[in-house]
């Protein structure tokens, strides 16, 4: 048994196997970096989205909800016909992949309470339109039943105003807390990336600092495997030539002896 050929083959297979494992590890690392980049972009988008909602609530020309007096209906007319949560709705599956459970819960609570505010505003608008219609009808007809129904709607509007103030206050608190959490999270990620870049060795190519592309590693592994394969083929060819040459010499020697 040719132990040298066996050991060479075994060593080549071992190196190739480790190269495959190393390549898979690089692929996993690359996918993780891509996923982390998506999460980072999502958090930035949510930060801008929630900040925009708070700014809209502060600068809207509609009467502020928190200024409604106790026992009075909210008479601000606002139609929530647009999708104000496009970042959240478009990336709901990605939100569930956020590793920080507290941050994930805060995001969901903020958008749930924002939707509750809009739903209450829409309900208040419907009741308010009906109330104004009944008042106008009563002024024309002087019907007592219309006046009684109008008073019922006014009492309902007072209750809705209280619910609306409470929902608005909860949304503002949750949104402010979420913005603080997002600022801390994004600031921490930025610091970690800065430390990684600062600790990166200087001998990497300038175009890709800090890591080697998986494709280049695959090429290197393929070259190593090819070298071992060629080495084995070369050894086999040499053996065949030596055997052929030995047979030729034997044949010539036999011929001369005869």
More reliable by pLDDT, 159 or 245? 159
Cα angle 215, 216, 222 (rounded to 5 degrees) comes to: 90
Q: For the residues 225-234, what does the mean pLDDT come to?
A: 50
pLDDT band at 226; cut points 50, 70, 90 = low
Q: For the residues 18-39, what does the mean pLDDT come to?
A: 81
Is 213 among the domain residues?
no
Is 238 among the domain residues?
no
How much is the pLDDT for 233?
52
Contacts of residues 49-56 at CB distance under 8 Å and 24 or more positions apart, as own/partner, are 49/85, 49/86, 49/87, 49/88, 50/110, 50/175, 50/178, 50/179, 50/182, 51/179, 53/84, 53/114, 53/175, 54/172, 54/175, 54/176, 54/179, 56/84
Is 251 among the domain residues?
no
Highest average pLDDT, of 46-60, 111-125, 177-191, 241-255, comes from: 111-125
Query: Given a cut of 60, is residue 90 above it in pLDDT?
Result: yes
Q: Which domain holds residue 158?
A: 44-198
DSSP assignment letter at 191 = H
CB 225 within 8 A of CB 12: yes
pLDDT digits (tens, 9 = 90+) for 152-206: 999 999 999 999 999 999 999 999 999 999 998 888 655 555 544 444 444 444 4
What is the count of structural domains for the chain? 1
How much is the pLDDT for 6?
64
Which residues lie closer than 8 Å to 12 by C-beta, 6 or more apart?
A: 225, 228, 229, 231, 232
Is 146 among the domain residues?
yes
Is 50 among the domain residues?
yes
Is 9 among the domain residues?
no
- The predicted model scores a pTM of 0.61
Q: For the residues 246-252, what does the mean pLDDT come to?
A: 48
Cα 106 from Cα 160, distance rounded (Å)? 26
How much is the pLDDT for 215?
52
What distance lies between CA 199 and its chain's CA centroid?
A: 26
Angle of the 101-141 helix axis to the 3-59 helix axis, nearest 10? 30
How much is the pLDDT for 247?
54
Is 109 among the domain residues?
yes
Is 99 among the domain residues?
yes
Query: Given a cut of 70, is residue 110 above it in pLDDT?
Result: yes
């Amino acid at each position: 048994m040719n132990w040298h050929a066996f050991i060479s083959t075994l060593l080549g297979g071992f190196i190739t196997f480790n190269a495959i494992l190393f390549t898979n590890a690089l692929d996993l690392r690359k996918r993780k970096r891509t996923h982390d980049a998506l999460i980072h972009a999502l958090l930035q988008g949510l930060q801008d989205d929630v900040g925009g909602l708070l700014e809209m609530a502060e600068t809207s020309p509609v009467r502020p909800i928190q200024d409604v007096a106790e026992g009075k209906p909210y008479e601000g007319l606002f139609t929530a016909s647009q999708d104000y949560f496009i970042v959240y709705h478009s990336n709901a599956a990605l939100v569930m992949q956020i590793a920080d459970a507290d941050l994930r819960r805060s995001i969901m609570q903020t958008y749930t309470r924002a939707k509750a505010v809009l739903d209450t505003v829409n309900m208040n608008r419907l009741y308010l339109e009906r109330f104004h219609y009944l008042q106008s009808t009563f002024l024309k007809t002087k019907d007592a039943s219309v006046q009684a129904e109008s008073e019922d709607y006014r009492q309902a509007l007072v209750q809705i105003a209280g619910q609306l103030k409470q929902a608005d206050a909860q949304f503002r608190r949750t949104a402010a807390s979420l913005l603080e959490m997002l600022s801390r999270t994004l600031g921490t990620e930025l610091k970690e990336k800065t430390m990684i870049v600062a600790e990166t060795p200087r001998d990497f190519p300038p175009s890709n600092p800090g890591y080697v592309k998986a494709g280049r590693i695959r090429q290197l592994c393929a070259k190593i495997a090819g070298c071992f394969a060629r080495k084995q083929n070369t050894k086999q060819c040499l053996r065949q030539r030596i055997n052929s040459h030995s047979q030729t010499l034997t044949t010539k020697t036999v011929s001369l002896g005869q």
